[in-house]
Structure 1
Amino acid sequence: MRKYSIIIPVYNRPDEINELLESLTRQTYRNFEVLVIEDGSKLTCQHMVEQFAGQLEIRYYFKENSGQGFSRNYGFTLAKGDYFVIFDSDCLIPEHYFATVDAYLNTHYLDAYGGPDRAHPNFSPIQKAISYSMTSLFTTGGIRGNKKRVGGAFHPRSFNMGLSRKVYETVGGYVITRMGEDIIYTINIIKHGFTTGLIEDAYVYHKRRTNFRQFFKQLHFFGRARINISRFYPKELKLVHIFPALFTLASFSIPLLSLFSTPLYQLALSLFILYFLLILLDATIKNKSLEVGLLSIIAVFVQLVGYGIGFLTEGWRKLRE
């Protein structure tokens, strides 16, 4: 019977870790241990973790701050299982998760897997809108949690990812701690000949950010990270990654078009409006809520512009290197 080691880096988020651990107590498959790696937090979660000592096989470790990638590496060295599972601290895990993963690996073994993220029914309308913007076909191209990834093998993301002990012993851990560390790690896994794939039903409820200001900051960082990944692997920069930057430039150019060409201005504005009407319709239908549909317009704009600005600023920095 396969034993899993769950590795959770956490930084100043005691309330989030409490909800995550609570969700793990409801798993129908229980052959796992939990390692909580406190990454130099000022707001520590040790008292939260200790409350679950009688409900989970759980261990708590405090270390100096080094970022999430190296905190995961720290967890790898302490794990006792033969398969490692990584979660972000802002995830909730459905009760069927480990039963689903174990059944899948028993019939379609993967050296490393990833799972999708979804919005929990109890999430706020803003959280649901943010979740939509991060998973929609009309924003990310549906590549998050989609088998048909642009450019080949599936790339698991570290908010919901598993890998065998053999992968870790062969590849090692994360080579950088931030700025696209999960994509770079996945590429290294694939380059060593290991199999990766998506387990569609191994989804988590990913809370992400609770307001648009936080969401903008997160996506700005993601845009910068995509350029950083290209420093290691230039061929990993695809057209879909450039779209937010083009959108951002186009958005800020529309007012200027009115000064030079009324027909071009009207065409650009019409396309802009049409795109967001499509977002409104799709998000409303998928969430069965007009409120979420309207908030999704804001979420998508924040996502694309935040990512686009981060992409452009880091891209300019790279050109000057």
Structure 2
Amino acid sequence: MFFSIIIPLYNRPQEIKELLESLTHQTYKQFEVLVIEDGSVNDAKDIVTGFMHQLDLHYYVKTNEGQGFTRNFGFERAKGDYFIIFDSDILVPENYLEVVNHRLTTDYLDAYGGPDDAHPSFTPMQKAISYSMTSPFTTGGIRGNKKGIGQFHPRSFNMGVSRQVWQKVGGFIITRLGEDIEYSIRIHTADFKIGLIPEAKVYHKRRTSYQQFYKQLHFFGRSRINIYKFFPSELKAVHFFPAVFTLGLLFTVIANLLRWRIAVLGNLILIIFTVLIFFHSWYKNKSLKVAFLSIGAAFIQLTAYGLGFMQDYWKRVVLKKS
């Protein structure tokens, strides 16, 4: 099977260098790489062309449209039997394509997704953010595992679709705010077979500071409402959890300031949550520093998502603004 790896890129030259370097070590060699510069000011032309002799690599420059429509640009130019979508901030294990090819030739999937993890070389902050996004104690725990809630929806940091899917379903119809989940739902609706390949893991850098992480998760919270506007039935009770957590945290702070007795219960819940995050992260990462940073990452993940979710729920669902 021949794969086309499609990577949208926007002002991240150093990230694409590390990603392309990881692709040069793939044990399965039947693939091409399409890097699409989406209107970047700080482009990666010199870096990308430096890998032309090591990879079957194609570099395109286009006006800025966002990651969804930039992937469509890649679909239209890809030669492969199967399209693989990566974000630019990942590293790919050397056996990734071998694992995917084995699964597709033994138990075929029309579309798949894979999990993400932190690489040993990542900073403690990156490891803490990665932990939060995959922890069973946050909503990240329902992503990229066999025990997810409802239909499995591949995410665009690590996602593959067959050429047949693209020919029948088309590409992305929104370019941001949950475009990958919306695309996955349409693939499901078209009766294609979608599944998780647990072994097709990538190392996802995500963000390097709490501030960047907050902005990203606030955006994710808003994205969930955007998906709801397309598919109302896809809004599940679990998606309200970060908003409930955020309101509970705010209520507990107020209750402490006003010295209400119920503050004791709120404090106890927060202490238990904090302890669980700390010891589970310590067990997973074998680092006290990462465990401490994971506490902040978990609180930021839930509150940022919750605030973004409530903001757009109020504006777009209650007030019915576009």
TM-score range, shorter chain: over 0.9
After superposition, residues 1-321 of structure 1 pair within 5 angstroms as 2-140=1-139, 142-151=141-150, 153-258=151-256, 262-318=260-316, 319-321=318-320
Report the residue type matching 2:177 in the other structure: M
> Unaligned stretches of 5+ in structure 1?
none
**Distance in 1, Cα, partners of 2:123 & 2:95:** 23
**Distance in 1, Cα, partners of 2:125 & 2:229:** 34
> Unaligned stretches of 5+ in structure 2?
none
**Distance in 2, Cα, partners of 1:129 & 1:270:** 23
Report the residue type matching 1:80 in the other structure: K
**Distance in 1, Cα, partners of 2:49 & 2:145:** 37
Task: Quote the offset at 1:149 in angstroms.
Answer: 2.2
Paired residues, number: 319
**Distance in 1, Cα, partners of 2:69 & 2:50:** 26
Alpha-carbon RMSD across the aligned residues, in angstroms, is: 1.0
Task: Quote the offset at 1:147 in angstroms.
Answer: 2.2
**Distance in 1, Cα, partners of 2:171 & 2:184:** 10
**Distance in 2, Cα, partners of 1:52 & 1:13:** 16
Report the residue type matching 1:247 in the other structure: F
**Distance in 2, Cα, partners of 1:184 & 1:148:** 21
Query: Could you say what secondary structure the match of 1:33 adopts?
Result: strand
TM-score (structure 1 length as normaliser): 0.98
Query: Could you say what secondary structure the match of 1:292 adopts?
Result: helix
Shifted more, 156-165 versus 247-256: the winner is 247-256
Tell whether the 8 Å contact from 2:133 to 2:140 is kept in structure 1 after alignment: no
**Distance in 2, Cα, partners of 1:248 & 1:121:** 32
Query: Could you say what secondary structure the match of 1:7 adopts?
Result: strand
Task: Quote the offset at 1:146 in angstroms.
Answer: 1.1
Tell whether the 8 Å contact from 2:207 to 2:213 is kept in structure 1 after alignment: yes
Tell whether the 8 Å contact from 2:31 to 2:56 is kept in structure 1 after alignment: yes
Task: Quote the offset at 1:313 in angstroms.
Answer: 0.5
1:122-178 deviations in whole A, cap 9, x for unaligned? Answer: 110000000000001110262111122212x31100100001000000000001000
1:78-124 deviations in whole A, cap 9, x for unaligned? Answer: 00001000000001000000000001111110000000000001110
Tell whether the 8 Å contact from 2:132 to 2:140 is kept in structure 1 after alignment: no
**Distance in 1, Cα, partners of 2:139 & 2:240:** 11
**Distance in 2, Cα, partners of 1:298 & 1:24:** 33
Tell whether the 8 Å contact from 1:244 to 1:308 is kept in structure 2 after alignment: yes
Task: Quote the offset at 1:260 in angstroms.
Answer: 5.9
**Distance in 1, Cα, partners of 2:250 & 2:147:** 32
Tell whether the 8 Å contact from 1:148 to 1:154 is kept in structure 2 after alignment: no
Report the residue type matching 2:214 in the other structure: F
Runs of 4+ that moved beyond 2 A: 258-263
Task: Quote the offset at 1:262 in angstroms.
Answer: 3.4
